[in-house]
């Protein structure tokens, strides 16, 4: 596993330190199960984003000939986002690491690799699926989420990085916020 720290400007003269983790695994170690795809059921983006169910493929179809996966995680301590409202801190941190992951995944895709991220695609301000359309305007920018294809991101994080993911909500505040993606080779 490779680890590095990246400095990222966060506005107002602040510099945030973001940890980048990278690990390579055989694709057979990706925790995939068609039932995991159903975990997207309660999500408000289901059917409203062309990278989410029911529009997303199953992982085996998507990665067909791939033999290896490079797992990538951008992770930031929530303490670097001292907003008065904890939920705002979480979203500021998540948007930062999600954007960093997206930038890197797009670079890998431009080199010809198959990529996947976490959460719904954020390439467009509003996905055309919201209006009932089924053809993506920018398929070269669309990034399917691992979850939407039947991957348990929790188990994937443990397999690739030995990390248990922290979650915020229901009175609990995570110490770290992470965005996890994959490049299939």
**DSSP at 156:** H
Distance CA 24, CA 44 (A): 32
- Residue reference for tokens 């694709």: 27
Closest alpha carbon to 141 in 54, 51, 55: 51
Q: Is-contact 66 184, C-beta < 8 A?
A: yes
For residues 113 and 56, give the distance between their C-alpha atoms in angstroms, rounded to a whole number. Answer: 18
pTM: 0.91
For 55, what's the count of Cα atoms within 13 Å in the CB-facing half-sphere? Answer: 24
Going residue by residue through the chain (185 aa), what tens digit of pLDDT does each one get?
999 999 998 777 889 999 999 999 999 999 999 888 877 778 888 888 999 888 899 999 999 989 999 999 999 999 998 876 778 888 899 999 999 999 999 999 999 999 999 888 888 889 999 999 999 999 989 999 999 999 999 999 999 999 988 776 666 677 899 999 999 99
Q: Coil, helix or strand for 111?
A: coil
């Amino acid at each position: 596993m490779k680890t590095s720290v990246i400095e990222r400007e966060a506005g107002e003269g602040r510099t945030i330190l973001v940890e980048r983790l990278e690990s390579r695994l055989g694709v057979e170690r990706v925790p995939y199960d068609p039932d995991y795809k159903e975990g997207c059921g309660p999500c408000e983006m289901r059917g409203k984003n062309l990278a989410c169910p029911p529009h997303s493929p199953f992982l085996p179809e998507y990665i067909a000939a791939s033999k290896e996966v490079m797992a990538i995680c951008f992770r930031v301590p929530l303490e670097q986002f001292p907003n008065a409202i904890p939920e705002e801190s979480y979203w500021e941190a998540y948007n930062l690491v999600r954007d960093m992951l997206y930038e890197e995944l797009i670079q890998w895709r431009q080199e010809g690799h198959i990529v996947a991220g976490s959460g719904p695609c954020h390439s467009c301000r509003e996905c055309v699926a919201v209006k009932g359309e089924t053809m993506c305007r920018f398929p070269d920018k669309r990034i399917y989420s691992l979850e939407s294809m039947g991957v348990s991101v929790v188990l994937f994080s443990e397999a690739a990085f030995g990390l248990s993911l922290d979650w915020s909500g229901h009175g609990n505040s995570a110490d770290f916020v992470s965005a996890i993606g994959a490049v299939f080779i």
